[in-house]
Structure 1
Amino acid sequence: MNNFLFVSAENDAIANCKAGGMADVVRDVPRHIAENDDTVHVVVPSYGRLHHEGQMISLLQFPLRGTEYFAELYKVRGKKEIKGIHHYVIHHPEIQAGDIAHIYHNDPKEPFFNDSIKYFIFCTAVAQAIKNGAFGDLDIVHLHDWHTSLLLFLREYHPEFKALQDIRTVYSIHNLAIQGIRPFQDNYASVRNWFPNIAFQEEVLRDKRYPDCINLMAVGIRFADSVHTVSPSYKEDVMKPSSPPEFIGGESLEEDLQKADKEGRLVGILNGCNYANINVAEKGQLLKNILKAIFPWLQEESKKYKADFLAHTGEKVFSWMENPPKFVVSSVARLTEQKFYFFKRSPEAFHHLLTSLQRVNGIFVLLGTGAPEYEELFREISYERENFLFINGQSEEVIDSIYLESDLYFMPSLFEPCGISQMLAMRNGHPCLVHHTGGLKDTVHHMKTGFSFDGPNYDAKISNMLEAFDDVINLFVEDRKTFRAIARRAGKERFTWKDSVNKYYTQLYDLPLALPIVKDVTKEVSKVS
């Protein structure tokens, strides 16, 4: 039996610890590892709140900033109790909740300032917990994104944590564009401030664009025993240099990734999708569920500034309830440059899509929150266009209804490491229109299970996106049989975690797969007789 430790900033297997798709991965992969009769420990920061209902099991003492730090390790309850899986959080007063999903800080003036502090403390506490044997004798440590890569720095340079070198450590890249870049020195949130007595090699750690800074994403790539991208096509993308906005690739780390690939350390494995225990909204309730979400939001003090817009949205929903749309296009995403750059730069293109939808009495439903400039853009368009419903909030019930009732799911991501939304839409038998990039290449196949667009430059991409959208509308109107066949094939696609985790074992963990449990058929027969 193997013993795993997952270290992450997010974990959707416990309540209120999700900001993005990484939390889904950290929730789902351990469940499939546990099915192999292996044991998984999952540890995340407490963010000052997740430890309240937990059981403190260890007080951790470790050196930081030239003094002794103390942190508390708590065992916490998962949303589901699953044999072989144990959930933990680490609490320290300086590991604070941010403004993004009560997890990450948004530091536009000095990026990663607050986040680096809390993850410096978190990673050192985890290293001490491993050293103390809090998780038992570990076979695999699996790190997720830059927030956890400092464990590899500690393994490499810290004399207190040399024992970590005996444990195979793998590193998953969920979003290469967010790299955790901080100064080496002369800053409170710098490496030398937090580790003043550790001798390390700056040239091995530095960011190639900012030579006075450490790049924590690069640390993960350079020091891990195995490096993992969350789709095969994203692996190919990130080994090429970026040329934004036409192409987002390695983001200055392509040479590191090429080196890892030559060394046999870089692996692309597609994320899976959950096809069991699905929350299914009642069909035909999309517009009602939007209204049900809006009214409570109107009473929240934090949303007073957008009360007028919420009331405006509710009024539009009422009008569509009287004249139900014949075609629903949807998107569910955090409002960021990655997800909606094309619309921010070319809002006229979005207006074109809405005009095309008018031909079929169609609406575009967008649910999301995020960057203020993107929220403002979509609120403005919503005031202007009757067939655009911008749901500027978060509601699981509305999201379930969107995935259940959309005729077309639209995902024009500038880049996409893997993507889960397209899988969720396809799971319900709805085709997607996607930008031909990253994991979207691996999951949506043009005119077979969905639709895609691309182009050699920005203008070509926009032109092809509009043409592809119009082609979808025309297909829906003029060749419903073909449209439905594409939808059926989308619904039959399966991107299972079982297949992905099997590849984790052989390609990432360098472990044999557990033998399947074979029932004694003769005993079963004798019972029946």
Structure 2
Amino acid sequence: MNNFLFVSAENDAIPDCKAGGMGDVVRDVPREISKRDDRVHVVVPSYSRLHKNGIFKTNLHFQLRGVPYTAELYEVIPKKVDKNITHYVIHHPEIIEGGIAHIYHDDPTEPFYNDFIKFIIFCTATAEAIKVGAFGELDIVHMHDWHSAALLFIKKYHPQYQDLKKMRYVYTIHNLAIQGIRPFYDNYASVHNWFPEVQLNHKELMDLRYQDCINLMAVGIRLADAVHTVSPSYKEDVLLPSRRPEFIGGESLENDLQKADNEGRLFGILNASNYNNIRKAEKGFLYRNTVKALFRWLQDTSKKYKADFLAHTGEKIMQYVGNRPKFIVSSVARLTEQKFYFLMRSPEAFEKMLARLGEVDGIFMLLGTGDPDYEEFFRDMSYKHQNFIFTNGQSEDLIDSMYLETDLYFMPSLFEPCGISQMLAMRNGNPCLVHHTGGLKDTVEHMKTGFAFDGATYEQQIENMVLRFDEAISLWQHDKPKWKKIQANAKKARFTWEKSLDEYYKSLYML
């Protein structure tokens, strides 16, 4: 039996610990490993809240900033119990929750200030837990994104943690654009402040653009035994330099990624979707679930600043309860540049698409929270356009209804390491319209399982997005047999964890 440790900022196998696709992966991959009769431990920060109903396991004693620290390791009960998986959280008063999904901080004036502090404490506590054998004798440590990469720094450079070198370390990149860059010196959230006893190898740790800073994403890529991108096409993308906004590639880390590739350490393996034990949603509750979510948020004091808008959305949705639209386009995503840059950059293109929808008595439903500028943009568009319904919040019931009842799922990502939403939409037999990039290239085939747009320049991409949108609606209007065939193909497409895990075992874990 092999013994694994997953180290991550998110884990959707436990309640209230997810902000994006990383949470899904850290939920699903251990379940698939467990089916192979291997053992998995999953550890995430407690964010001062997730430990509250947990079972205390042990105190973890270590040094940071030259002073003694004590963190607490708790076992927590998952949403679904599995005999081979144990879920843990690490609690320390300085590992605090942020405003993004009650996990991450948004520090516009000094990026990564708060997150650096909490993830440094988390990674050091995790190193101590490995050292004292809290997870047993480990074979594989699998880390996710920059939040866990300090573990590799500690293992290599910290004099107290030389014992950690014997197992295999795997590093998965979920979002290369967010890199965890902080100063080496002269700041509370700097490497030297937290590790004064460690001799810093600046060359191996530095960000190539800001050479007085560590880049934790780069540390993960440089120091892991295996580096993994979450789709084959995204692997090809990140080996090339970015040319924003036309193309998002290696984001200044392409040289590190090319080196890892040349050394046989870089692998592109597609994330998968869950086709079993799915939350059961019933058709016909889309509008009811929207109204229920809106009423709940209207009672939440933290949502008071947008109470007028929530009421406006409620009024809009009520008119569709008895008078259903003929065609529904939907999107569910965090509202960020990655997901909706095309619409923010060209509101005219978005308005053309809404006008085309209006011709077939169709509506566009968007659900999400995120960047305040994007939230404000979509609120303004909702006030202006009757057939654009923007639900500015998060609700699992409503998301399930949207995936179930949409006619066309829209995913115009500027870049997409893998993407899970298109797989969830396709699982329900809903064609997707996507930007032909990264993992969307590997999952959506134009005119077979969905629709895709591309272009050499930003202007061409925008133009083709509107064109493909029009083509999709025209196909639905005028060629129902072809539309039904695309729906059937989408539903039949299977991206299974079983297949992906075969690749994990062979390439990443070398088992």
TM-score bracket, shorter-length normalisation: over 0.9
Answer yes or no: is 1:253 the counterpart of 2:253: yes
Answer yes or no: is 1:357 the counterpart of 2:340: no
Q: Does the residue aligned with 1:321 lie in a helix, a strand or coil?
A: coil
- Alignment-derived partner of residue 230 in structure 2: 230
Q: Does the residue aligned with 1:221 lie in a helix, a strand or coil?
A: helix
When Rg is computed on C-alpha atoms for both structures, the one with the higher figure is 1
- Alignment-derived partner of residue 338 in structure 1: 338
- Alignment-derived partner of residue 159 in structure 2: 159
Task: After TM superposition, give the deviation of residue 301 of structure 1 in Å.
Answer: 1.4
Task: After TM superposition, give the deviation of residue 323 of structure 1 in Å.
Answer: 2.2
Distance in structure 2 (CA, Å) of the matches to 1:409 and 1:312: 24
Task: After TM superposition, give the deviation of residue 508 of structure 1 in Å.
Answer: 0.2
Task: After TM superposition, give the deviation of residue 280 of structure 1 in Å.
Answer: 2.8
Q: How does 1:151-230 map to 2 (within 5 A)?
A: 151-230=151-230
Distance in structure 2 (CA, Å) of the matches to 1:8 and 1:250: 22
AA aligned opposite 2:281: A
Answer yes or no: is 1:87 the counterpart of 2:87: yes
- Alignment-derived partner of residue 524 in structure 1: none
- Alignment-derived partner of residue 437 in structure 1: 437
1:306-353 per-residue CA deviation (whole Å, 9 max, x = no partner) reads 111111111111222232110000000010000000111111111010
Is the Cα contact below 8 Å between 1:146 and 1:180 reproduced in 2?
A: yes
Distance in structure 1 (CA, Å) of the matches to 2:374 and 2:93: 33
Is the Cα contact below 8 Å between 1:280 and 1:404 reproduced in 2?
A: no
Q: How does 1:472-483 map to 2 (within 5 A)?
A: 472-483=472-483
AA aligned opposite 2:74: Y
Distance in structure 2 (CA, Å) of the matches to 1:147 and 1:298: 33
Task: After TM superposition, give the deviation of residue 56 of structure 1 in Å.
Answer: 1.4
Answer yes or no: is 1:412 the counterpart of 2:412: yes
- Alignment-derived partner of residue 110 in structure 1: 110
Greater than 6 Å deviation, 4+ residue runs: none
Q: How does 1:266-415 map to 2 (within 5 A)?
A: 266-415=266-415
TM-score (norm 2): 0.99
- Alignment-derived partner of residue 101 in structure 1: 101
Is the Cα contact below 8 Å between 1:8 and 1:148 reproduced in 2?
A: yes
Is the Cα contact below 8 Å between 1:112 and 1:181 reproduced in 2?
A: yes
Distance in structure 2 (CA, Å) of the matches to 1:133 and 1:288: 50
Task: After TM superposition, give the deviation of residue 422 of structure 1 in Å.
Answer: 0.2
Distance in structure 1 (CA, Å) of the matches to 2:128 and 2:259: 31
AA aligned opposite 1:48: S
Once the two structures are overlaid, the 10-residue window that deviates more, 104-113 or 283-292, is: 283-292
Task: After TM superposition, give the deviation of residue 144 of structure 1 in Å.
Answer: 0.4
Q: Does the residue aligned with 2:62 lie in a helix, a strand or coil?
A: strand
Q: Does the residue aligned with 1:297 lie in a helix, a strand or coil?
A: helix
- Alignment-derived partner of residue 133 in structure 1: 133
Distance in structure 1 (CA, Å) of the matches to 2:55 and 2:402: 38
Distance in structure 1 (CA, Å) of the matches to 2:436 and 2:442: 9
Distance in structure 1 (CA, Å) of the matches to 2:316 and 2:194: 53
Distance in structure 1 (CA, Å) of the matches to 2:88 and 2:222: 27
Distance in structure 2 (CA, Å) of the matches to 1:191 and 1:461: 41
Is the Cα contact below 8 Å between 1:233 and 1:442 reproduced in 2?
A: yes
Q: Does the residue aligned with 1:440 lie in a helix, a strand or coil?
A: helix
AA aligned opposite 1:160: Q
Distance in structure 1 (CA, Å) of the matches to 2:167 and 2:281: 44
AA aligned opposite 1:501: L
Task: After TM superposition, give the deviation of residue 464 of structure 1 in Å.
Answer: 0.5
Distance in structure 2 (CA, Å) of the matches to 1:74 and 1:289: 35
Is the Cα contact below 8 Å between 1:97 and 1:104 reproduced in 2?
A: yes
Task: After TM superposition, give the deviation of residue 105 of structure 1 in Å.
Answer: 0.6
AA aligned opposite 1:138: L
Once the two structures are overlaid, the 10-residue window that deviates more, 316-325 or 471-480, is: 316-325
AA aligned opposite 1:106: D
Distance in structure 1 (CA, Å) of the matches to 2:75 and 2:478: 58
Task: After TM superposition, give the deviation of residue 150 of structure 1 in Å.
Answer: 0.5
1:356-403 per-residue CA deviation (whole Å, 9 max, x = no partner) reads 001110000000011111111111111111111101111111111100
Once the two structures are overlaid, the 10-residue window that deviates more, 256-265 or 157-166, is: 157-166
Once the two structures are overlaid, the 10-residue window that deviates more, 60-69 or 424-433, is: 60-69
TM-score (norm 1): 0.96
Task: After TM superposition, give the deviation of residue 502 of structure 1 in Å.
Answer: 1.2
AA aligned opposite 1:276: N
- Alignment-derived partner of residue 448 in structure 2: 448
Distance in structure 2 (CA, Å) of the matches to 1:185 and 1:286: 52
Distance in structure 2 (CA, Å) of the matches to 1:247 and 1:506: 31
- Alignment-derived partner of residue 74 in structure 1: 74
Distance in structure 1 (CA, Å) of the matches to 2:413 and 2:455: 14
Distance in structure 2 (CA, Å) of the matches to 1:299 and 1:459: 43
Please list every run of 5 or more consecutive structure 2 residues that lacks an aligned counterpart in the other structure: none
1:400-434 per-residue CA deviation (whole Å, 9 max, x = no partner) reads 11000100000000000000000000000000000
Distance in structure 2 (CA, Å) of the matches to 1:80 and 1:328: 33
Percent of matched pairs sharing the same residue: 68
Give the length in aligned residue pairs. Answer: 511
Task: After TM superposition, give the deviation of residue 203 of structure 1 in Å.
Answer: 1.0
Q: Does the residue aligned with 1:320 lie in a helix, a strand or coil?
A: coil
**Backbone CA RMSD of aligned residues:** 0.8
AA aligned opposite 2:200: F
Distance in structure 2 (CA, Å) of the matches to 1:379 and 1:64: 44
1:291-316 per-residue CA deviation (whole Å, 9 max, x = no partner) reads 12112222221222211111111111
AA aligned opposite 2:145: D
Is the Cα contact below 8 Å between 1:183 and 1:213 reproduced in 2?
A: yes
